[in-house]
Structure 1
């Protein structure tokens, strides 16, 4: 699976667990709502800076917690 899709899947999973809309997550992350939509669909090549904003500020999880799941194991 493409890394953009893995990240998109993980963001959506955590967003839904927290009961956030894409708009609410975008606001908390200080990114545009349409940008968030494209990120969650795996259509954007997200920058490291925006990825950190979404994970740490928006989803309120550490980078370790975000990436410490099976989908990211072994880089495959």
Structure 2
């Protein structure tokens, strides 16, 4: 897992929660498997630019909102 994937996943999860969607409902609206959505949010997979735009569209935000800032990428990964 890269710091970039982890930060992107955190941003996606934060945006999803801010619009009041469960992970399952979000995955359904985005037309992806819920387990894949979980891997995205945990930073365990890299997504395509097309997927970034698809997720942003479902959330009603621009894709730039989901992209991590430089200082977010430099942070150490969260402890489990």
**TM-score calculated relative to the size of structure 1:** 0.80
Q: Is the 8 A contact 1:30 1:53 kept in 2?
A: no
Provide the aligned length of Structure 1 versus Structure 2.
72
* Runs of 4 or more consecutive aligned structure 1 residues displaced over 6 Å after TM superposition: none
Q: Which blocks of at least 5 consecutive residues in structure 1 are unaligned?
A: none
By relative contact order (CA 8 Å, sep 6+), the higher-ranking structure is: 2
Task: Give the distance between the partners of 2:51 and 2:40, measured in 1 at CA.
Answer: 10
| 61, 69, 72: which one aligns with 2:69 | 72
**How big is the alpha-carbon RMSD for the aligned residues of Structure 1 and Structure 2?**
1.9
**Higher fraction of helix:** 1
